[in-house]
A and B are shown apart, each in its own frame.
Chain A
Amino acid sequence: MKTRLRHAFERFFAACDAACADGVNILILSDRGMDADRLAIPSLLAVSALEQHLIHIKKRTAVSVILESGEPRDTHQLAMLIAYGARAVNPYLAHDVIRENRPDDADAAIENYNRALTAGVLKIASKMGVSTLQAYQSAQLFEAVGLDRQFVEHCFTNTPCALGGKGLHDVETDSRCWHDGAFMDPVGAGLPSVGKHRLRTGPEAEEHLYSPKVIHLLQQAVWTNDAAKFDEYAALVENDGPRTIRASLDFRYDLCSPVPLEEVEPAEQIVRRFRTGAMSYGSISQEAHECMAMAMNRLGGRSNSGEGGELPERFGTELNSAIKQVASGRFGVTRDYLLSAKEIQIKMAQGAKPGEGGHLPGAKVTDSVARTRCSTPGISLISPPPHHDIYSIEDLAELIYDLQCANEDAKVTVKLVSSTGVGTIASGVAKAGAGGILISGGEGGTGAAPMSSVHHAGLPWEIGLAETHQVLCRNRLRQTVTLETDGKLMSGHDVAVALLLGAEQFGFATAPLVTMGCRMMRVCQLGTCPFGIATQDPELRKRFAGKPEYVERFMLFVAGQLRGIMARLGARTVDELVGRSDLLKVKDGFGLDLSDLIGFACNTHVQPESKHDFALSERMDARLVQDHVQLTTTDRAFGALLKGERHIQAQGSGGQSFGAFLPEGQSIALYGVANDYLGKGLSGGTLAICPPADAIWNESDTLIGNVALYGATSGYAFIAGTAGERFAVRNSGAWAVVEGVGDHGCEYMTGGRVAVLGPVGDNFGAGMSGGVAWVLDEAGTLESRINGGLVKVHGVTPEQARELRGLLEKHARYTDSKKAADILADFEAWLPKFKAVISDEYMDYMKRKEV
């Protein structure tokens, strides 16, 4: 009789205790003794349970645990092992496999593998804001989904677990199943292909939500306008697909008296609550992007531009995306872009890859994409993981305020990612004055996300949505915001579940793509999409066969199904059902504990009169008639409400976000100082900051705060003094002069020109793929200050010297800078002290342009 896992643990702990008593301070756990008759305890379970045991017997800091196991092979598994207690891991089977496959250069190949794993683990740690491996060890930065709560408490103590499910017994059954499979595979050589990422069909394969049959039925339903086929598709998703949380939920029709279908609000009205997902132009083709915009505008719903900007000629037409996204890259976030929006969405993170930025490869940055993103054709674009102007909830509040000022009529919403604890963040967002909150689920698409993120990062929206709605209700904040959710919503059933859990608006992304022809190739990152969707290749774009009608039909079919459910639940309006999770129950036979998610009746939704009032009409710039003004630090985002051509002379202290999004035709000269975020998103305007004439002023004194010119797209900024940290981060087109900067200057810059007439801090030019920074390197220390990942230090070419001189002349004119006057007085003599910081890619681009 084989030993049960429970008993194996007793023996295992006893052995560890004995070793500890003998004074051992390193325990090596190994599964090398496994054979056809003997199973190993799953490595993560062993490591974590031992960690908890050692804590319990107060030996945790006296003993280090090292794991030698055939199980771990990818970065996620390594990260879990380290985060749950392993101090070192030897993935020997992975090494053996490499050795077998690469007999000639095994050592080098294993070295590569180890390096890749290490980099991957560090990447995972960095996504959680942890920058050293030591800090990540035993950090337990994971959330369990569908594990029995007692089991988690026992073996993975303190790991959040929003829904209960499988326990030790199930783990044992799985282990035996895998073990037997490994030792008794009759079928043939090689491992089974289960199709975790790329689907496989057959007896050994895992199911996917988008199976061939689902894709085919959905496409046929919307292409031929066949509601019956759509119902067939939806039934397949709900009943035969993988068991999502929503698919394991059913409605408490038994508690309701139905109403006639005719009395339920019409589908045409319901679809106004529907949105398409944020997919940028650049990641998808112009045809696909415009097709969705057209469809949603016709329906009165909303399409989302994504983070890549939008061609200005689409503004104000049927092709305009009603939602304009503002993400960390701030690509194409111009004043006109913001003004074209009905809703401005701040993307804090992405459901499918929380904690990560993005990378648009140079090949996808065509002339048109570059124009849209205010960047340079052929040059890769990096979206940094965080917004560099948001390091706290107060910073987010500032951005909400700034954007609200930039477009008074738009609703400013914030996109968050589902997780346990998101309710707290959402409360902060609501208090910060956002008009809406989106809880995005981890099942959402992006075929281009890294594999480890697709499979292991992000959580189902059901968890985050239920918590957010409940927390907002309890804090009497729910009525101040609209609550939206997205993440593989596919049918009326899915929408109804989201509605009952608390959402009142609903986003769809993969499904609209499928209606437009996507068949889930999962090559979005390669640009070779054969359906003309995730590509910029003109030949492939010709293959695009999507039509707005298809997207419209999808939305109407979903709304139609929702109406049917509403009628049976006795609801005539969608609003009546928001947050009625008491009308949900777990389907029979599903061993899931969803008691944290369902069973609450808090039917609160947004109330127009409860919305946050920013009192914008009382702002200084809203009522400014004359051209002179005295400012104090409470005058935030000064300039955003100026209308028409204005040239303002200001005195005093500019508040935060001074001159944010200032458009062409406007200029502000400030004789004084300004706080953080000066010239945020500068859009063609001119800003000049200089010390007051009567000030006792030293050249190296700081004149403006941190994060100036973040996401600036065009315009000029002249600062006759030193700036704080992160100057001109993500600048894509503004020209600026400053007389010294702190750390991280010009990080992620993609265009424009920056002249620094003084010292620079560390990490200058990190991730800077475009634009030119001229630094007056009087001390000769520049080389030690730059981050050489992308950029190199060059001499200033004659062509650049002309540009630099022109820029300095302007600087001198606007600010009366003494430093600029000195340099211009003998420019040729000063020139050799200037160094140009330029990326190789941009250098090539400039050479091409010259030719």
Chain B
Amino acid sequence: MGKPTGFLEIARIENPYRSEETRLRDFDDLHVAQPVDARRAQASRCMNCGVPFCQSDFGCPLHNLIPEWNDLLYRGREREALERLLRTAPFPEFTGRVCPALCEKACNLESDALTNRDNELYLIETGFEKGWVRPRIPKARTGRRVAIVGSGPAGLAAADLLNRLGHEATVVERADRPGGLLMYGIPNMKLPKRVVERRVRLMEQEGVQFLLNTEADPDALCGFDAVLLCGGAKKPRALSVENADAAGVCFAVDYLTAATRAVLSGGAPAISAKDRAVIVVGGGDTGNDCVGTALRQGCKSVVQLEMMPAPPTQRAANNPWPEWPRTLRTDYGQLEAIYRQGGDPRVYRTTVKRIIAGAGSAIEAAETVRLEGFDPVPGTEQTLPCDLLLIAAGFVGCEAATAARFDIAPDARGRAMPGDGSHHLNGNLFSAGDMRTGQSLVVRALADGRAAAMEVNEWLKGGSV
């Protein structure tokens, strides 16, 4: 069980970022991997708790067997550790980079938690490097065919598991590259696209089929025994202010997609922040990604507006361990903005009141206002010059068009969620991921995709086809 006194002797050390100076010059991976000794030392800190909160419902939605693979990693048995990890985690190379690590927030060592995410990433990357990760082709095929609509985290996780269960899994993707938000939502520096492509290639070798540039259509999918909708919660929350349709106002996802396309294909992005004054509306992870991307594209300036007050630096009394800490986090993009601009780009309790458009109805400035709760405070208006306004205000549910095509009625929050809490919508139709649960985390989408796959499997086994 790890090293009994490891947590007393060794301090938590996270994978460091590359320096702002170097990383702002490219869109490459942010992190610097640490050598094996450091990883084993970090793993030795795991206390192998009798009640491990890290892998409980407070922590990892995949219920990763964290104490087990930490112990194996500490003992230098990386290959076995990786096997333990892969038992529950479909794509550690994704979660090892983008997961907010609920497990670490629920670790019994609290602020001094294990570096599970870094350990996970080390194990999977070592696995790829050493050739331990090889296609696992199912021994027997069931002859059942399942179509998975959408190739985001939920779709990939479901396809992966359905394929392992012996079913023929076909992923239908509208875009030119598979991965959904993993491909075009998350910037390359956070999740390099070669990592997504590597996984898709592996899945193809294992037997999963990908239909790209294909809009899913119920009629075209009639040959499948089951259809699993993993279309995400793609409908962005819009700004309802004057001139919201001005040129230079766009949704964060469109902006980030264009940026990633440019990184992958070369050439200038369709929407660029270069030499422009940028305002990002929304203080979440996507907003931060916009800040980081804008800085890399060479923006003139960047400001990030957040409606809520700045969170406390320590847990508040009503937000105890092991709950998700609602505390101030300064992410890579914000750190880069501080480095470049000399100050935190975030402005709290503030929103856009009006967009001021100029010639050709292009945005020229944005009028902001302070908020008290959700109410604007008169007299606090301020006009900020702005050439590019990015809306990263979250998502409000699945695409209406997709829902209509499959003849399903999303609930009030835009979710295609069956009333009984299951994944089974009707007939041979199932849903999973953000499309079912509403906007969430990659890791939750993975867990939901796997749960849906098990449900589809049971349903197929039940012979109800």
* A residues whose Cβ falls under 8 Å from a Cβ of B: 186-190, 192-193, 197-203, 205, 208, 210-213, 215-216, 220, 224, 447, 519-523, 526, 528, 530, 539-540
Contacts and interface: CB of A to CB of B under 8 A. Distances in A.
A521 B50 CA distance: 4
Contact of A212 (B56, B84, B161): B56
A37 to B, nearest CB: 14
B398 interface: no
Given A190-B84, A523-B47, A530 B109 contact: yes
Contact of B57 (A212, A522, A530): A212
A201 B47 contact: no
Interface stretch (B3-11, B281-289, B359-367, B425-433): B3-11
A212 B58 contact: yes
Nearest to A202: B63
B55 A521 contact: no
A224 B319 CA distance: 12
Nearest to A191: B87
A211 B51 contact: yes
A60 B165 CA distance: 48
Interface in B55-69: 55-58, 62-63, 65, 67-68
B7 A211 contact: no
B86 A188 contact: yes
A201 B49 CA distance: 13
B14 to A, nearest CB: 20
9 contacts: A186-B138, A193-B68, A198-B49, A199-B50, A200-B65, A208-B51, A213-B57, A216-B320, A528-B4
A212 B164 contact: no
B5 A528 contact: yes
B109 to A, nearest CB: 7
B48 interface: yes
B73 to A, nearest CB: 15
A655 B320 CA distance: 63
Interface in B1-32: 4-5, 7-8
A530 B161 contact: no
Given A190-B83, A519-B108, A530-B7, A201 B63 contact: yes
B52 interface: yes
Given A198-B48, A198-B67, A199-B52, A186 B108 contact: no
A645 to B, nearest CB: 51
Residue of B56, B84, B320 with most chain A CB atoms under a 10 A cut-off: B56
Chain A, interface SS category? loop
Interface string B142-184: 0000000000000000000100111000000000000000000
Contacts of B166: 186
B322 interface: yes
B88 A202 contact: yes
Nearest to A199: B51
A202 B55 CA distance: 8
B53 interface: yes
A447 B108 CA distance: 17
B320 A220 contact: yes
B324 to A, nearest CB: 13
A200 B55 contact: yes
A213 B57 CA distance: 8
Given A208-B51, A212-B57, A187 B8 contact: no
A164 B71 CA distance: 41
Contacts of A521: 47, 49-51, 108
Given A199-B52, A200-B55, A212-B56, A188 B320 contact: no
Interface string B100-121: 0000001011000000000000
A483 B269 CA distance: 80
Contact of B164 (A186, A198, A224, A447): A186
A239 B139 CA distance: 41
Contacts of A528: 4-5, 8, 47
B87 A190 contact: yes
A193 B87 CA distance: 10
A522 B51 CA distance: 8
Given A212-B57, A523-B47, A186 B63 contact: no
Contacts of A189: 83, 86-87
A840 to B, nearest CB: 25
A530 B88 CA distance: 28
Given A201-B56, A521-B50, 18 more contacts: A186-B138, A188-B88, A188-B136, A189-B86, A193-B87, A197-B50, A198-B48, A202-B88, A211-B51, A211-B56, A212-B53, A213-B58, A216-B322, A519-B53, A521-B47, A523-B48, A528-B47, A530-B7
B87 A526 contact: no
B402 to A, nearest CB: 29
B169 to A, nearest CB: 13
Given A186-B165, A220-B320, A200 B50 contact: no
A163 to B, nearest CB: 28
A519 B49 contact: yes
Contacts of B58: 212-213, 216
B56 to A, nearest CB: 4
A200 B4 contact: no
Contacts of A526: 4
Contacts of A212: 51, 53, 56-58, 106, 322
A530 B6 CA distance: 11
A624 to B, nearest CB: 56
The residue among B52, B84, B166 with the most chain A CB atoms within 10 A of its own CB is B52
A216 B110 CA distance: 14
B337 to A, nearest CB: 37
A826 to B, nearest CB: 56
Contacts of B320: 216, 220
B141 to A, nearest CB: 12
B65 A193 contact: yes
Contacts of A210: 51
B55 A188 contact: no
A224 B166 CA distance: 51
Contacts of B47: 521, 523, 528, 530
A198 B50 contact: yes
A447 B84 CA distance: 26
Contact of B4 (A192, A211, A520, A523): A523
Contacts of A224: 317
Contacts of A520: 49-51
B5, B47, B51, B138 interface centre (most CB from chain A within 10 Å): B51
Nearest to A208: B51
Contacts of A203: 63, 454
Contacts of A519: 49, 51, 53, 108
A186 B456 CA distance: 14
Nearest to B80: A190
B56 A523 contact: no
Given A200-B63, A528-B4, A522 B87 contact: no
Contacts of B4: 523, 526, 528
A555 B321 CA distance: 24
A220 B48 CA distance: 23
A203 B458 CA distance: 14
A802 B88 CA distance: 69
Most-contacted residue by chain B among A188, A203, A210, A530 (CB, 10 A): A188
Contacts of A192: 87
Contacts of A193: 65, 68, 87
A530 B51 CA distance: 13
Q: Which of B53, B58, B320 has the most CB of A within 10 A?
A: B53
Contacts of B161: 186-187
Interface in B68-110: 68, 83-84, 86-88, 106, 108-109
A201 B136 CA distance: 26
Given A190-B83, A201-B63, A216-B322, A539 B8 contact: yes
B87 A188 contact: yes
A210 B50 CA distance: 10
A411 B43 CA distance: 52
A530 B53 CA distance: 14
B425 to A, nearest CB: 22
A520 B48 CA distance: 11
